[in-house]
Structure 1
Amino acid sequence: MSSFSKKSYAPFTLYQETSINQNYKEGQMITFYSELFNSSIHGILSKKYTNSCLVDISACQELSRENREKYNYKIVVNYKKIFEDI
């Protein structure tokens, strides 16, 4: 009978701090360009990932209710698509 040894692995994470994503905070209102809808949209940053973030679009007035429901009120946005405050 063979014995199995337990190997120790580092925990897997989808988030690594970078110079780009450190400028944004969860809960922050952001404006971004959506290629999905071909327009600029407002939303609340829900979760940060290394190169993108999950954005809550449930209160977005630029989209119809049907479009918001279709994507379960959330979409993933690349940080490069977020507009900087002017």
Structure 2
Amino acid sequence: MLRTPDLAVHLHICTAGSDWERRTLLFRDWLRRDPRDRARYEALKRRLASRDRPDMDAYADAKGPLATEIITRAERWASTIDWTRAE
């Protein structure tokens, strides 16, 4: 987390080729493909952003259940199409 008076950035860095990288890219690709999950995730993020949270961890934790639900669907989809990450 980087904070300045004018900017707050939450940056994730992962190892290339790691399972975390794979899941993150799969999540991205699934949201690009599925308008329903994309809308649900956007609505949740907007709701959470409008609330006062003690820190970014609380915000991330609040997204967890929906993110897990979405990644489960994304994994099922990926297994049916032999998914590989898109650029």
TM-score (norm 2): 0.26
Answer 1 or 2: higher relative contact order, Cα 8 Å, separation at least 6.
2
Which structure is higher in strand share? 1
Larger Rg, first or second structure (1 or 2): 1
